[in-house]
A and B are shown apart, each in its own frame.
Chain A
Amino acid sequence: MRHGGAAGGAGFVGRTAARSLVGAFVALVAVTLVVAVVALLVGEESVSLSDSLVEGSRDAVILWRLRLPRVLLGLLAGGALAVSGLSFQTVFRNPLAEPYTLGVASGAALGASFVIVLGGGFAVGLPWISLAAFAGALAIGGVIVGLSASRRGVRSETLLLAGIALSITCSAMILLLQSQGTMDQRSHIVQWMMGSLAVVGYREVGWLALWTALGSAVLVGHRWELDVLLTGEEVAAGRGVDLRRVRVGVLAAVSAMVGALVAVTGPIGFVGLIVPHILRRLVGPGHLVLTPACLLGGGAFLVFCDLVARTLPRGMDLPVGVVTALVGGVFFLWLLLGRGGAGR
C-alpha cells in the first residue's frame, strides 16, 4: 500500500504546503456546506422557508423534523464511514480495507435479520432492529478485538481473514433466516441491507454524533502511531509503537462506531473505501489532517449521494448505497486513471 511514505503528516509540511492544506480544507468545508444546504432545500416535496418557520406547519415538519435530521445523519454517517475506512486501511496496511471488512456490518445485518424474522417492535423507545443490529455488530467487533488483543500476537493478515470468515458466516446465517421467513420478511431483510438515511427527529443524530466523536477522538489520539504504521509494522515496532495496543484501541473504537452507524442506517457501502483514497491525494497521508478531512469529505459525499437518490424521478427510486457505488466508483476511476493518477 502506498501512502506516500510520509510519517509525520502535517507536522512536516512546509509553509507552501501548509497554505495548500488550508486551501484544501477551506474548499472541503465550502463543498460540505453547499451540499448540506442544497440537500436541506431540495427533496421529495417542495417547501417554503417562510412557511417552515410556522410551528407545526407541514413545511416545518418536513424541513426541521425530516430533512434536517436526515442531512445531519448523512454528514455524520458519511464522516464515520470514511474515518473508519481510513483507520482500517492504515492498521491493516491494505488499500482495499473498509469499514465492513471485519464483518461488523454482517454481524449487524444478522442481528437485524433475527428481529425481522422473529418479529419485534420497540424496547425502551428504540426499535428492536436497531438494538439487535448494534448487538450483532458489537459481538463481531468483540471477537475481532479479542483476537487482536491476544497475547500470542495475531498478524494483520490473519485478522483480516478472520473478519472475512466471520462476515461469510454471518451472511450464511442471514440466508438461512431468509429461507425460514415469509416473503414479506425476506424483502424486509433485503431492504434493510440496502441502507437508508430516512429518519424522524434528532435521536439517531445524537446517537451517531456520540459514537462518531468517540471513534474519531480515539483515532486522532493514535495519530502518531498510525502515521508511523504507514512506514511498515516492523519499522513502527522498532520506533517504539506498541502494535497490539494500537490495534486493539483502534479496532474497538471503530467497531463500536461502525456498529452504532449500521444500527441506524443499515450498511451503506463504498464511502469508507474510496473517500480516504480520494482525500489522501488531496491533503496527504498524515492522520492529524486526514481524519478531519475524511469526516468532512465522507459526510459531504454521502449527503450528495442521498440527495441524488431521493430526488430522482418517481419510479426510479434507488437505495443510497447504489448511488454511492455508482457515483463514487466512476469518480474514483476518473481520479485514478484520468487526472494523471495512472502513473502514481
Chain B
Amino acid sequence: MSAPRSGPPARGRALARAAAAVLVALIGVGGGPSSAAQGGEAGPSAAAPGCRRVVTLAPNVVEVVFELGLGERVVGVGEHTSWPPEAAELPRLGGLYDPRLETIVALDPDLAVLLPSQAELAGSLTRLEIPVLTVPHETLEDLEVAIRRIADRCGVEAAGEELIADLRSGLAPREEPLDLDVLVVVGRTSGRIREVYAAGEGTFLGELVARLGLTNVAGPQPYPSLGPESIVAARPEVIVDLMPQALDAAHSAALAVDWRQLGSLPAVESGCLVALGGDHTLIPGPRLPRLYRELETAIDACAGEEP
C-alpha cells in the first residue's frame, strides 16, 4: 500500500475553483421562465396567444375552462380531474407536481394553464416552447382573476364576465348573518380526532364561512393543523367536515361519532356536526355556489332556522 498522497487543502482549492467556474457557466445558460410566469403569461409564444389545444393539470382550471364553453379545446387534464364528466375522459397528464411531460408534448398543446406553485413545470414547458398561462387559485378573488385571465386569453371575454357574475350572485353574502362559531375541517379520515387541518380565514372556504356570517374559529392561517386541545378550547358551535368523496349515511355517522369523543363541545351538545362530501367540496372552481348552498342549508338546519 502506498502512503497517502497530496493533501486535501490543495485538492480542495482546485476543486472549488473548477466548481465555481462551471457553476457560473451553467447559470449563464439560463432557461427558466420570466418572472411573468408567476402572474400571467410566459414562454416564447406569449406574444402570439393560442388557445386551440389547452392542457392543464389543476381540476379547478379544467372546470373553469369547460364552464367558459371551451371544453372542446381541452386536450389533456390532470390525474385528479373528475368534473365535468367529459373532461374525465380526456388523456391524463399526471399530478400537479409529477406531470407526464412526454404525453404533454405528444398532445401538441398551444397553451398550458398552470398554478403559481407549478413554477418548475412552467420552466420545463417554456423550455419546450409550450406557452404557459399562470392563474391564481387560493381565494374567491383569485378565482375571478383566473376566469378573466383564461377568458381574455381564449377570446371569450363575455363568457368570462358572465361566469363571474353568476359566481357573485351564487356567493352573495347572507343578509341575516348566522352568527355562530364554526370549524371547517378538510379531508379528515374517520377514526379518531388527532391533528386535523382546518380552513382558515384567508382561504376560499374561509371566505364562504364569512359570507354566511359565521365566525371562523380556525384563525387567520390558511390551513392550520389543530389538535384536540385547540379544538376544545375554540368551542365551535358548528363543525363541518368537508370530504373530497361522496359520503353515505354510515360514513357521515362515523365522522360525527369521532367528534363526540371530545365531550362537551357546543357543536357536539347541539348535534351541529355537518359532513359534506363530493368532488366539488375542496375545489375553488365554478361549483362553489353549490357548496355554499349546501353549507347554508346544513348550518341553517342546525340553527333551527328556515333556509
Which 8 A/B pairs are nearest by Cβ-Cβ distance? A125-B30, A122-B32, A249-B8, A191-B97, A44-B102, A179-B225, A200-B124, A45-B106
Contact of A172 with B by CB under 8 A: no
B11 x A221 contact (CB < 8 A): yes
Give bound CA distance, A300 to B34, whole Å.
36
With A58-B106, A227-B1 as given contacts, are A183 and B223 in contact (CB-CB < 8 Å)?
yes
Give bound CA distance, A121 to B33, whole Å.
8
Q: Which candidate, B88-96, B258-266, B271-279, B289-297, is the interface stretch facing chain A?
A: B88-96
Nearest chain-A residue to B127 (Cβ)? A200
Residues of the A chain whose Cβ atoms lie less than 8 Å from the Cβ of B106: 44-45, 58, 62
Which chain A residues (88-107) contact chain B, with CB distance < 8 Å? Answer: none
B12 x A252 contact (CB < 8 A): yes
With A124-B27, A201-B127, A252-B12 as given contacts, are A184 and B7 in contact (CB-CB < 8 Å)?
no
CB distance from B242 to the nearest CB of A (A): 11
Give bound CA distance, A127 to B106, whole Å.
25
Residues of the B chain whose Cβ atoms lie less than 8 Å from the Cβ of A23: none
Interface string of B111-144 (1 = CB under 8 A from A): 0000111011011100110000000011000000
Nearest chain-A residue to B197 (Cβ)? A183
Contact of B26 with A by CB under 8 A: yes
The residue that A182 contacts in the complex, of B5, B30, B33, B222, with Cβ under 8 A, is: B222
A187 x B96 contact (CB < 8 A): yes
Give bound CA distance, A194 to B119, whole Å.
18
With A66-B102, A245-B7 as given contacts, are A122 and B203 in contact (CB-CB < 8 Å)?
no
The residue that A214 contacts in the complex, of B15, B92, B186, with Cβ under 8 A, is: B15
9 residue pairs from A and B, CB less than 8 Å apart: A44-B103, A45-B102, A45-B105, A128-B119, A129-B120, A184-B115, A201-B127, A224-B5, A241-B4
Give bound CA distance, A201 to B119, whole Å.
17
Nearest chain-B residue to A190 (Cβ)? B97
A203 x B22 contact (CB < 8 A): no
Nearest chain-B residue to A61 (Cβ)? B105
Q: Which of B35, B95, B116, B117 has the most CB of A within 10 A?
A: B117
Contact of A32 with B by CB under 8 A: no
Residues of the A chain whose Cβ atoms lie less than 8 Å from the Cβ of B98: 191, 194, 196, 198, 317, 319
Which chain B residues (21-38) contact chain A, with CB distance < 8 Å? Answer: 22, 26-27, 29-33, 35, 37-38
Residues of the B chain whose Cβ atoms lie less than 8 Å from the Cβ of A86: none
Give bound CA distance, A60 to B187, whole Å.
43
Interface string of A117-145 (1 = CB under 8 A from B): 00111111111110000000000000000
Contact of B3 with A by CB under 8 A: yes
Contact of B19 with A by CB under 8 A: yes
A206 x B26 contact (CB < 8 A): yes
B223 x A188 contact (CB < 8 A): no
Nearest chain-A residue to B79 (Cβ)? A317
Give bound CA distance, A145 to B298, whole Å.
60
Give bound CA distance, A66 to B124, whole Å.
10
Nearest chain-B residue to A204 (Cβ)? B26
B1 x A7 contact (CB < 8 A): yes
Residues of the A chain whose Cβ atoms lie less than 8 Å from the Cβ of B5: 221, 224
Contact of B162 with A by CB under 8 A: no
Residues of the A chain whose Cβ atoms lie less than 8 Å from the Cβ of B2: 224
Contact of B245 with A by CB under 8 A: no
With A66-B101, A245-B7, A319-B98 as given contacts, are A127 and B223 in contact (CB-CB < 8 Å)?
no
Contact of B224 with A by CB under 8 A: yes
B27 x A182 contact (CB < 8 A): no
Contact of A225 with B by CB under 8 A: yes
B123 x A66 contact (CB < 8 A): no
Residues of the A chain whose Cβ atoms lie less than 8 Å from the Cβ of B203: 182
The residue that B105 contacts in the complex, of A62, A179, A181, A315, with Cβ under 8 A, is: A62
B32 x A121 contact (CB < 8 A): yes
Contact of B100 with A by CB under 8 A: yes
A122 x B102 contact (CB < 8 A): no
Nearest chain-A residue to B122 (Cβ)? A121
The residue that B4 contacts in the complex, of A124, A191, A246, with Cβ under 8 A, is: A246
Residues of the A chain whose Cβ atoms lie less than 8 Å from the Cβ of B19: 210-211, 214, 256
Contact of B50 with A by CB under 8 A: no
Contact of B152 with A by CB under 8 A: no
Which chain B residues (169-223) contact chain A, with CB distance < 8 Å? Answer: 186-187, 197, 203, 221-223
Q: Which of A7, A8, A198, A227 has the most CB of B within 10 A?
A: A198
The residue that A249 contacts in the complex, of B11, B127, B186, with Cβ under 8 A, is: B11
Which chain A residues (40-65) contact chain B, with CB distance < 8 Å? Answer: 43-45, 58, 61-62, 65
A119 x B116 contact (CB < 8 A): yes
Residues of the A chain whose Cβ atoms lie less than 8 Å from the Cβ of B11: 218, 221, 249
CB distance from A223 to the nearest CB of B (A): 10
Contact of B233 with A by CB under 8 A: no
Residues of the A chain whose Cβ atoms lie less than 8 Å from the Cβ of B224: 179-180
Contact of A212 with B by CB under 8 A: no
With A214-B18, A241-B4 as given contacts, are A121 and B38 in contact (CB-CB < 8 Å)?
yes
Which chain A residues (244-276) contact chain B, with CB distance < 8 Å? Answer: 245-246, 248-249, 252-253, 256
Interface string of A4-24 (1 = CB under 8 A from B): 000110010000000000000
Contact of A170 with B by CB under 8 A: no
Nearest chain-A residue to B2 (Cβ)? A224
B102 x A67 contact (CB < 8 A): yes
Contact of A155 with B by CB under 8 A: no
Residues of the B chain whose Cβ atoms lie less than 8 Å from the Cβ of A224: 1-5
Which chain A residues (313-332) contact chain B, with CB distance < 8 Å? Answer: 314-315, 317, 319
Nearest chain-B residue to A217 (Cβ)? B15
Residues of the A chain whose Cβ atoms lie less than 8 Å from the Cβ of B18: 214
Residues of the A chain whose Cβ atoms lie less than 8 Å from the Cβ of B12: 249, 252
Contact of B228 with A by CB under 8 A: no
The residue that B108 contacts in the complex, of A8, A58, A245, with Cβ under 8 A, is: A58
The residue that B29 contacts in the complex, of A65, A125, A214, with Cβ under 8 A, is: A125
Contact of B44 with A by CB under 8 A: no
